[in-house]
Amino acid sequence: MDSLIPPLSPQEREETQPEAPKKREGERTADELQRLRALLFQRELGQLRDIEARLNDPALHAKDISRVLAEAIALRAGKDERLSRALQPTVESIFRSSVRQNRSDLATTLFPLMGPAIRKSIAETFHTMLQSLNKALEMAFSWKGLRWRFEALRTGKSFAEVVLLHTLVYRVEQVFLIHAETGLLIGHVSNEGVEFQDADLVSGMLTAVQDFVKDCFASRSEESLDTLQMGERTLMVEKGTQLVLACVLRGTPPAAFRGTLRDTLELIELEAAEALENFQGDTSFFTPLLRYLNDCLVSRYVDDNAPLPWPVKCLPVLLLLLIAGGVGFVWWQERAFSHVLDDLRRTPGVVVTEAAGGYIKGWRVTALRDPLSRNPAEILDKADIPGLRYSLSLVPFTSLEPDMVTARLRKALDAPGSARLRFEGDTLYLEGSASLGWILATTDKALALPGVERVDSTQIRDPRTERLRQLIDAVQSTRVEFPLGKDAPVPEEREKLTRAVDNLAELASLANQMDLSATLLIYGHADPTGTEKRNYELSEARATTLASMLYSRGVAMPITTYGFGAQYAVGQAAGGEADAKASQQRSRRIELKVHLTFLGKSLMSF
């Protein structure tokens, strides 16, 4: 604590020391002075110790500041905005951090305040919407509404404007709240759908007009402009002690409306008394009070409370029934079209690759179609679905379905009524009866068609085939013999030629009926007697002679002759000279062969 007592200066020390002679009387040491000082300043020294401890202890500083912090903030906030500007960053940071960390707590805290406001806003919105709907329904389904539509067409005005002229009693379109002394715009609200200019500009012009009227016409300073007519609109002004409330309205309001404006203005001035007292141009304090201005945006129409006619009352029910019926109709149409698509998919030769869209937009169908299948457009057109709209895109292809292969075979083969076609697996079975030419042609055509791998013709016959075979056997069994060294047959053999001619004529006619071409082959032979050259010439001459004889007797069939000499002579039997002569006689002969062709193709057997 010695450090808290300032030491004595040398001059003071000389003044306080007694003279030399007095030191002898009562000499005082430094310790005695210290004890004397402690006795004299004990209370002050304790206070100094307390002050030093308080200055050195931060906890005591905080405790002391807490006693006066509230009063200090209140005093400083009333002087200027420096405290608000200083605390704003800190408060914003704290608020953001609190929102990030405790969102649920913040929502729980604000819900009791925001919930009722949100519900009220939604309820007012629905109420306004229902009022507008009721008014629109009344105007649309009444004789009055039809007359007004005709008037709108006749005058060139919009229907909404005509309705407004006939039904509007009055409507407040805009409300301005202005500071009376400075002319600053504090707040502005407008009715829905109202077009307006810059609110600050309107406020300034209104203040200028008031000053002009007051300077030119007012006899007392407290008098001011309270009503101004501008065509269909009226400007109504209500002046308070510090604020001015101006309303732009259309129509004629009731006399009590000015009292409503006055009450609203007094309520705002009462709640904002302190802010108006210290008003420096900051209008943020008045933002919550603008809700009172919305109460001034009122509208009144003719027969606002008139009951709706019963057709209008029934209209919502009819609309719901119409919507439900439309939805049900569309659902039914789409179900019906899905069944049609199923039928289309089951149609042989049709493959649906895409079916998109719907009843409202129309269907888009893409399919592969065999040319022999049923046309999908016919199936869709016969679906009996009212209002069906579709676009059909078909891509040709060859179907290998059994029904399509059978249809393709019937069209290509042109089977006679007595013939039956049956297709199973990859084999075509021919059954019944048909001409041999058709059977042969069908075999070749069928194998060229897609899907056919084999043709079974074992169960189909041409009834004329047996007679054709008999005639061929009869002709080919004819053997005409010649004398030794001669190329003309003996007279006894001429009867065989007559029978052969008759058989050949019938055979040629029958072959022509069966679409076959018949050629007669004549093979000439000789016995081994004579030279090989002579035998060859003799055998060839015998074949030529017989062909000439057949032509002379009316055979029209093409004939081809061949000479073989003694190459195919009949072998000699071991029976003596008589048997040898008989063998030589049988060797001097001609043989007849019938060659059948169909479209140039040789028939070895049939």
Cβ neighbours for 179, distance < 8 A, ≥ 6 positions apart: 186, 242, 243, 244, 279
Q: How far apart (Å, rounded) are the C-alpha atoms in residues 438 and 463?
A: 13
Q: What confidence score (pLDDT) does residue 125 get? A: 61
Cross-strand bridge partners of residue 432: 419, 460
Q: How far apart are CA 428 and CA 406, in angstroms?
A: 9
Number of helices and strands in the chain (H, E): 21, 17
Question: What is the value of pTM for the model shown?
Answer: 0.38
**3-state secondary structure (DSSP) of residue 448:** helix
Tell me the one-letter amino acid at 224.
S
Tens of pLDDT, residue by residue over 462-471, are 888 888 888 8
Does residue 89 register a pLDDT over 60? yes
pLDDT at 579 > cutoff 60: yes
Query: What SS3 state is found at 591?
Result: strand
Tell whether the model's pLDDT for residue 64 goes beyond 80. no
In 10 A of CB 470, how many CB atoms? Answer: 13
Total Cβ atoms within 10 A of residue 207? 19
- Vertex 356: Cα angle to 351 and 360 (nearest 5): 135
Q: pLDDT-derived band of residue 96, with 50, 70 and 90 as boundaries?
A: confident
Q: What is the mean pLDDT of residues 357-378?
A: 85
Tokens of 503: 């058989």
* Average pLDDT of the residues in 33-53: 78
- Range 322-325, long-range pairs (CB < 8 A, 24+ positions): none
- Cα(93)–Cα(99) distance, rounded to whole angstroms? 10
Amino acid identity, residue 210? Q
Mean pLDDT across the stretch 277-304?
A: 76
